[in-house]
Amino acid sequence: MALILPAGYDPVLTIRETQEAIKFIRDLFQKEFGRQMNLERVSAPLFVEKSSGLNDNLSGIERPVRFDIKDIQREDIEVVQSLAKWKRMALAKYGYKPGEGLYTNMNAIRRDEDLDNLHSSYVDQWDWEKVISKDQRTKETLRDAVRTIFKVIKHLEHGVWYKYPQAVNKLADDIFFITSEELLQKYPDKTPKEREDLIAKEYGCVFIEEIGSRLSNGKPHDGRAPDYDDWSLNGDILFWFEPLKCALEISSMGIRVDEEALERQLELANCQNRKSFDYHKKLLNGELPYTIGGGIGQSRLCMLLLKRAHVGEVQASIWPKEMIETCADHKIYLL
C-alpha cells in the first residue's frame, strides 16, 4: 500500500484537540469494553524470554526486536509481538473462571513493517482474553463476541458524535459475517486484499472468518501463527474506510487452539519443534484453560472514528522524513 493523499483532506480538529479526542476515545472504549465483556484490566510485559515460547511469531517472517539483559545470563530477550500466549498463561496463573477475562494495553515494535497510511513500526492495541468452557468452542461463541465488540464501537461512535460532532465518522449499522472461502468464491479473480476491500465496501463492516488454513486455491487468505488461534474459529473485523477507499482492520481475534487443534496446526505449519516450549507443553498437557481472545488496535480505532488519513495523526511514531513532509503539504500532520 503506497502513501495515499486524499484530495481536499481536512483533519477538522487541531493537533491539541486531536490529542484530547484520542484520550476520550481510549478511556471510553476500555471502560465500556471491559464492562460488556466482563474483563478486568491487568499489567502485561513489554518483553519476554525467547526460550519461554510466549512470543508470537505472527505470520512467521517478522523479526522480533531482540536484546540482552546484564543480570540475566545466556538468555535472549524479545519485545513482544503480541500477547496471545502470555494472556492464556496469565488466566491460568491468576485463577480466572469461565466467563471471566482480562484486557491490557499492549505495545510492540514491528521492525519489518512497510510504513504507509495504516502501518506503523509502533503497535498499540488492547489485548484481551476470556476463559470459556470446552463446549463453548463454537462459531456462535465467536460471533457473539464479535457482535459485542461491534456494539461497543457503535456506542463509542455516539460518544464521539456528542463531543466532536464536526469530526465523527458515521459507521455501518450492522456487521456481516463471511468465511474466507466464501469470500474467495465471491471474488475468485481478486487478491485477498482486493476481496477485503470489496466486501467491506459492500457491507460497511464485515467479519471474515476462518483465516490461516489453505483455501480451495491452495493459498491461505492471510498468515496466522499455528499456536494461538484455531484457524477454523477465528477472523478479522474490517470496516470500510472512505477517506482511504479501503478496508480498515480493527481487530484480529479467535477461539484459541485446544490440544487437538494445536497438534494439527503445528504439523501443517511444520513447527512441531515448538512442542519443546513450556507454553506448548502446558497446553498439550491440558494445564491451560480454553479461551477466546484477540487484539483491538487503539490507533486504528481513533483513525476510524475521527476519519484520519494516516495512523501517524493519532500516534507518536517514527516516519521517513519525506513522508512527514509530503503529508504536511496535504494537511496530514504526523505526531
252 is a catalytic site residue: yes
What digits encode the pLDDT tens for the residues 82-107? 788 899 999 999 999 999 999 999 99
Task: Report the alpha-carbon distance of residue 227 to residue 250 in Å, rounded.
Answer: 22
Please report which confidence band the pLDDT of residue 72 belongs to, taking 50, 70 and 90 as the band edges.
Answer: confident
Q: Evaluate whether residue 58 is within a structural domain.
A: yes
Q: Evaluate whether residue 10 is within a structural domain.
A: no
Domain of 266, CATH number, reads: 3.30.930.10
Q: Which of 30, 81, 252, 315 is catalytic?
A: 252
Domain count of the fold of the chain: 1
68 is a catalytic site residue: no
196 is a catalytic site residue: no
Q: Evaluate whether residue 334 is within a structural domain.
A: no
Q: Give the DSSP H or E segment for 259.
A: helix 259-268
The pTM of the full predicted model, rounded to 2 decimals, is 0.92
Q: Of 298, 295, 294, 279, which is closest to residue 90 (Cα–Cα)?
A: 279
Q: Is 239 helix (H, G, I), strand (E, B) or coil?
A: strand
Looking at residue 234, what is its pLDDT? Answer: 97
Looking at residue 2, what is its pLDDT? Answer: 82
**Mean confidence (pLDDT) of the chain:** 93
Q: Evaluate whether residue 54 is within a structural domain.
A: yes
Looking at residue 56, what is its pLDDT? Answer: 72
Q: Which of 56, 129, 196, 229 is catalytic?
A: 56
114 or 239, which is more confident: 239
Q: Evaluate whether residue 7 is within a structural domain.
A: no
Residue with cell 524479545: 78
Asked whether residue 152 carries a pLDDT value surpassing 60, the answer given is: yes
276 is a catalytic site residue: no
Q: Helix crossing, 15-37 with 139-163: angle to 10°? A: 140
Looking at residue 63, what is its pLDDT? Answer: 84
110 is a catalytic site residue: yes
What digits encode the pLDDT tens for the residues 104-119? 999 999 888 899 999 9
What digits encode the pLDDT tens for the residues 263-316? 999 999 888 888 888 889 999 999 999 999 999 999 999 999 999 999 999 999
**What percent of the chain lies above the pLDDT cut of 90?**
79
232 is a catalytic site residue: no
Asked whether residue 36 carries a pLDDT value surpassing 60, the answer given is: yes
Q: Which of 125, 180, 251, 265 is catalytic?
A: 125
Cβ atoms of 36 and 148 within 8 Å: the answer is yes
Domain enclosing residue 78, as ranges: 15-329
Mean pLDDT, rounded, for 170-190: 97
Mean pLDDT, rounded, for 226-250: 95
Looking at residue 65, what is its pLDDT? Answer: 87
Task: Report the alpha-carbon distance of residue 108 to residue 259 in Å, rounded.
Answer: 28
Q: Which of 227, 249, 258, 313 is catalytic?
A: 249
Q: Evaluate whether residue 3 is within a structural domain.
A: no
Q: Which of 78, 127, 209, 236 is catalytic?
A: 236
Please report which confidence band the pLDDT of residue 60 belongs to, taking 50, 70 and 90 as the band edges.
Answer: low
Cβ count near 17 (within 10 Å): 14
Task: Report the alpha-carbon distance of residue 120 to residue 113 in Å, rounded.
Answer: 7
Task: Report the alpha-carbon distance of residue 301 to residue 180 in Å, rounded.
Answer: 23
Q: Evaluate whether residue 174 is within a structural domain.
A: yes
Please report which confidence band the pLDDT of residue 73 belongs to, taking 50, 70 and 90 as the band edges.
Answer: confident
Q: Evaluate whether residue 167 is within a structural domain.
A: yes
